[in-house]
Structure 1
Amino acid sequence: MQTNISILGATGSIGKNALSIIRENRDKFNITALSADKNWQALAENIREFKPKYVSVGTQEGYDSIKREFPNIEIFMGCEGLKNIGQLDETDILLTAVSGSIGLPATVEAIKKEKRIALANKETMVAGGYLIRDLLKKYNSEIIPVDSEHSAVFQSLKAGSHNEIERIILTASGGPFRGADKKFLENVTLEQALKHPNWSMGAKITIDSSTLVNKGLEVIEAHHLFLVDYDKIDVIIHPQSIIHSMVEFRDKSVIAQMGEPDMKTPILYAFTYPERVENKLLGNFDFMKFNNITFEKADFEVFKGLKLAYDAGKQGESYPIVYNAANEAAVDLFMNRKINYTDIYKIIEDELNTHKSVKSLDLDVIMDVDREIKNKIYNLYE
């Protein structure tokens, strides 16, 4: 029997990897719905190959073009389109691989429909962690993390119970500027920030990785996914990206999940959990090729975004929403060459310092805070 999968963000890095897995496992998986933002041409190619019943596109041009070529497919558009895909009864697994808080409403809808969420959109848990946790208590849904770090923790936790956790250890490659000082970061260009040493990812997450804000987002996400205090979540630099993360238990055993730096493994695991099936796209792990494993201390002073994430997470309430929204807006401005690289940190810190916290966090409030922070930043810098 095939598993019906819907993919939010089908034309991005995670979406492409997911489609490659489905392509090699047609007997196991079927595509129900696909979404893309601006890249409707690539979406059209996916529609021709996988023949989904539903699609969503982010622009009017894309909507009109897809509608002309595929008049018999139900087509949605924009944020509402993502929510519509999240509500589909036909879906068994929703892979949410869009970038940013835009993925939160669709995830909420899928939880209410009691679907499995294969979560590759960390901003969902950062902005909406408290809400998602409450919904998971109410509905018979589950989240299987796809981010390599959280998938690694999820897998490692199979070796012990929750009350035996001493700490979660998230690994980070260090990005392209590992070992740099503050002065160097002041002159970083967009082209430099987009060159990740190990992973092939989208532009936004690649820049987040370079600032270590990505790791900060992962710290907050880990807190909500695994219900572990921030004082028990550590970050260490592991330049080779072979050990994806670890869990240390109270008996001092450390369980690590390792493998090639390739997202196909955690995606496949999220699709088939609790079973493991053959990964037809990767060979056996070559220990001789990956025989150099080192660790370094994370620099919280130079890569200030990591420290700010812990601060926001520990303050709780609406502060993580602000951290995420300020970073999204700042990265967008940097990508459009309107601010300098280190302004990303400044913008996040300024917004956290001036924010007046909100305690009641339903979906509308979360999205309102997100929108207000972003609009404030855009008005200041554009």
Structure 2
Amino acid sequence: MTLTVTILGATGSIGRSTTDLLAQHKERFRVGAVVGGRDAEALAKLARETGARFAALADEAAGPGLREALAGSGIACGAGEAAVLEAVGQEADIVVAAVSGAAGLKPTHAALRLGRTVALANKESLVCAGAAFMRDAARYNAKLLPVDSEHNALAQALGEGAVSDVAKMTITASGGPFRTWSTERIAAATPAEAAAHPTWSMGMKINIDSASLMNKGLELIEAHHLFAIEPDRLDVIVHPQSIVHGLVYWRDGAVTAGLAMPDMRVPIAHCLGLGERLTIERGRPLDLAAAGSLTFEAADEARFPCLRIARAALAQGGAAPTVMNAANEIAVAAFIRGEIPFYGISDLVERACTEFASRYARAPDDVEEALAIDAHVRAWSAEALPRMRAAG
């Protein structure tokens, strides 16, 4: 049986890993639609290589370039929000949701509403509107499969076990490029230094979230919704080798863990296989003797306050994670532009969480409400940036 796959965020790192796997298993999969951001040339090349039937760009202005690049191919295409949703509406068995940031909410939710199996790599969907997403997944009989290596490892370690038998779930962090840096050195870090992740290459924004450990905070919130587990049973541990991705601590004292080489094709293959294991060509098998030793250390929330802020938002609940994510996206973009220092990211996010703590106490009822909160907080954050710079 051939399965049809739609890839949202096809030109990003997850999208490229997905297309590599699909190319290795052409007898099992075909590509229905591919969606990108604004790079018409890259998406057109990918659409031709995969034999996609439909291609869409989120940036409407890039539409003419996409049409020109696909001329004569027979591949239908479009640009803008309507075209992205049209791509999601194409027939598919699995939708790989890998659009980065809050921009991924609408297309990911549209796939869920169609009852698709969604391989979820857009953690912001659950951070910003987790309750609504999980409710609608059940309502529309959709499956959410975790692509993030940490959550995929937790899912495999959990197996058929009951969450009620779990004492704690722990996700690992590499520690990022600043794991051994002093607070003073981190404060003076440049965007290039923050983006130099020691293990993964995930794009500028995600790499910087990893440097601040905000990425781990987002992943704790995602785990809370995926596994219906309370915040106080979730934890983070730093593991520089990035071989152990997630651990499940059982109430009888046993621990099961998900281990693999740091290769995103491993969790993607687990999702695409739908219960069957796919062979990964050119994959590096895990050799523990060659690895030598695996080390672990506590996460330092003093040097990495974004993790502390994310834990607080998760504990507070309501729309606090939605607010936090919106402010973080504005702050990271400002840091990349050189407008604020590295710790300006956590400063702005914490100010936003305080500002909106009582205003958005209730969790968003749906994606539209989550995006309205997101827009409001982004506007406030953009206006707060000049005041932060003026204050030094």
> Whole-Å Cα distance in 1 between the matches of residues 384 and 106 of structure 2?
27
Which residue number corresponds to residue 375 of structure 1? 379
1:48 aligns with 2:48: yes
How far does residue 255 in structure 1 lie from its aligned partner after superposition? 0.5
Judge conservation of contact 1:167–1:248 (CA < 8 Å) in 2.
yes
Indicate how the Cα distance of structure 1 residues 188 and 24 shifts in structure 2: closer, same or farther if over 3 A, else same. same
Distance 1:283 1:188 in 2: 33
| Letter paired with 1:357 | Y
For the residues of structure 1 that align with 2:184 and 2:79, how far apart are their CA atoms?
44
For the 8 Å contact 2:58–2:84, the answer to whether it is kept is no
Contact 1:130 1:224 in 2 (8 A): yes
Q: Is the deviation greater in 285-294 or in 76-85?
A: 76-85
Q: Pick closer, same or farther for the CA change 1:159–1:140 going to 2, 3 Å.
A: closer
Summarize deviations over 1:254-273 as a string: whole Å, max 9, x none: 10010110100000111112
Deviation at 1:378, TM superposition (A): 1.9
Q: Counterpart of 2:62?
A: 62
Which is worse superposed, 213-222 or 284-293?
284-293
Q: In 2, distance between residues paired with 1:47 and 1:357?
A: 41
Q: Distance in 2 between matches of 1:151 and 1:10?
A: 20
Q: Which residue is equivalent to 1:77?
A: 79
Describe how 1:77-156 pairs up with structure 2 within 5 A. Answer: 77-88=79-90, 90-156=91-157
May I ask how many residue pairs the two structures share in their alignment? 381
Alignment of 1:12-27 (within 5 A): 12-27=12-27
Match of 1:199 in 2: 200
- Which residue of structure 1 aligns with residue 349 of structure 2? 348
Question: What RMSD in Å do the two structures reach over aligned CA positions?
Answer: 1.4
Residue 84 of structure 1 aligns to which amino acid in structure 2?
E
Answer yes or no: is 1:174 the counterpart of 2:178. no
Q: What is the CA–CA distance in structure 2 between the aligned matches of 1:75 and 1:66, rounded to whole Å?
A: 7
1 CA distance for matches of 2:51 and 2:145?
Answer: 26
* Per-residue deviation, 1:358: 4.5
What letter corresponds to residue 379 of structure 2 in structure 1? N
1:315 aligns to what?
A: 316
Partner of 1:176: helix, strand, or coil? coil
Instruction: State the AA in 2 paired with 1:33.
Output: A
Equivalent position of 1:232 in the other structure: 233
Deviations 1:81-130 (A, max 9, x none): 33332233x11111011110111111211111110000011111100101
**Partner deviation per Cα, 1:51-102 (whole Å, 9 max, x = no partner):** 21111113344310111232543323233333332233x1111101111011
**CA distance in structure 2 between the partners assigned to 1:156 and 1:82 by the alignment:** 35
Distance 1:327 1:268 in 2: 30
SS at match of 2:85: helix
Q: Which runs of 5 or more residues in structure 1 are unaligned?
A: none
- Contact 1:242–1:290, Cα closer than 8 Å, also in 2: no
Task: Provide TM-score, normalisation by structure 2.
Answer: 0.94
Are the equivalent residues in 1 in contact too, given 2:126–2:222 (CA < 8 A)?
Answer: yes
Cα shift at 1:183: 1.7
Identity of aligned pairs, percent?
A: 35
